[in-house]
Chains A and B, each alone.
Chain A
């Protein structure tokens, strides 16, 4: 993985998985969601079943830089949790 790239992790359908290929860390949120939607539709995320009806418009992207236990950038896609 290059310094400008990140691992992309998603939680969906009761499972958690990483996209097989890294993406640029500064990828826009909308592109991140679209990329993961396509991956879930095709069933190409190990550990996450295919879902042709996946919709991630209400998911948010958390971004993490390298740290002492992980020497790479990480993007995590998870559901939003605001109420009101």
Chain B
């Protein structure tokens, strides 16, 4: 992966919004008011958000990822699904508790077209 990219996914498992902001690099997607506004506008039909990580193998959430997950969910008042993909493996995360940053990770067994496109856009 040469750059991190994200995609907002709806309840029909379809992409709503491709997040490719200026300032993205191989290690991070910057804070974006635009992304938040899209999430808020689509809050009734948002299922979750996926983003790419550099490298191969099973990716894991950074502390930045976990705190962002928790912050967005607290603002929405609901839990979302969070996917992270490397060049070859995707995982999905969901809050399990009890603490604020206790998210459980599992391999994403089904890879939709938008996951493939996410990897392509990240190269």
Contact = CB atoms under 8 A, between A and B. Distances in A.
A79 B71 contact: yes
Contacts of A59: 71, 75
B15 interface: no
Given A11-B40, A14-B77, A15-B77, A83 B51 contact: yes
Nearest to B78: A14
A67 to B, nearest CB: 16
B118 to A, nearest CB: 12
A81 B77 contact: no
A59 B35 CA distance: 14
B60 to A, nearest CB: 12
Interface residues of A, number: 18
Contacts of A15: 77
Interface in A10-50: 11-15
B27 A84 contact: yes
B107 interface: no
A13 B70 CA distance: 12
Contact of B4 (A60, A62, A83): A83
B76 to A, nearest CB: 6
Given A58-B67, A78-B75, A83-B6, 10 more contacts: A11-B75, A12-B75, A12-B77, A14-B76, A58-B68, A62-B33, A79-B71, A81-B35, A81-B72, A82-B32
